[in-house]
Amino acid sequence: MRPLVNIEPYQRLSKTIYKHNKYHLKPPLVYREKKVMKMNKEERQRIFEMFGGKCAYCGKELNGRWHVDHIIPIYRNDTDEQFERRIKHGSRRMDIPRGKDVPENYYPSCSRCNGWKSTFTIESFRAEISEQAKRARAYSCNFRMAEDFGLIKETGIEVKFYFETQPKPQ
């Protein structure tokens, strides 16, 4: 199959990195059929404005590198067969049908939230975020110290997404 993007620069970079660091950088998945529709400027602008130019999840202002998130993950790199296999073997996080690449499944997202959400559904993403304070305590001495001196207090509040606090976009 013909590559969809030019992978030559990645191969070149990969060689250099391998030579110097002994790490191998894989080129992106380019041989798969593209599952995502190309979006025009107006549609992208409409999505940007859904929540006043803010991330649907954390509510921070979107900067130049914002993403269009699929609310229900579409597993863009999986064929139907691969997707079925994931679900069957429970190796992934999907407990609802695979999402579609349609406007009703789009939310504007900052790159951090989009990257974290990845193939999580809304509810599994919420559960994931709920773990963050525990993780910070386990891994960061800065967090533990700040907590010991009363600078940080874990509230245990329920994670609410920004879109849940806003009127439903048209």
- Shortest Å distance, C-beta 114 to Zn ion: 8
From 62, 68, 94, 113, residue interacting with Zn ion (rule: CB under 5 A): 113
Q: Which of residues 16-55 bind Zn ion (CB under 5 A)?
A: 55
For residue 68 the two structure tokens come to 């269009």
Residues pairing with 121 in the sheet = none
Stretch binding Zn ion (CB under 5 A), from 18-26, 63-71, 90-98, 106-114:
106-114
For residue 56 the two structure tokens come to 């649907």
- Shortest Å distance, C-beta 65 to Zn ion: 12
* Per CB under 5 A, 58 contacts Zn ion: yes
* Per CB under 5 A, 57 contacts Zn ion: yes
* Per CB under 5 A, 94 contacts Zn ion: no
Stretch binding Zn ion (CB under 5 A), from 28-36, 108-116, 130-138, 146-154:
108-116
In the complex with Zn ion, the residue whose CB is nearer, 55 or 68, is 55
Q: Where are the beta strands (DSSP E) in the chain?
A: 67-70, 106-109
**What is the rounded distance in angstroms from the CA atom of residue 20 to the CA atom of residue 114?**
32
- Shortest Å distance, C-beta 110 to Zn ion: 3
Handedness of CA 100, 76, 108, 165 (dihedral sign): positive
**What is the rounded distance in angstroms from the CA atom of residue 63 to the CA atom of residue 54?**
9
**What is the rounded distance in angstroms from the CA atom of residue 38 to the CA atom of residue 82?**
23
Q: Which residues bind Zn ion (CB under 5 A)?
A: 55, 57-58, 110, 113
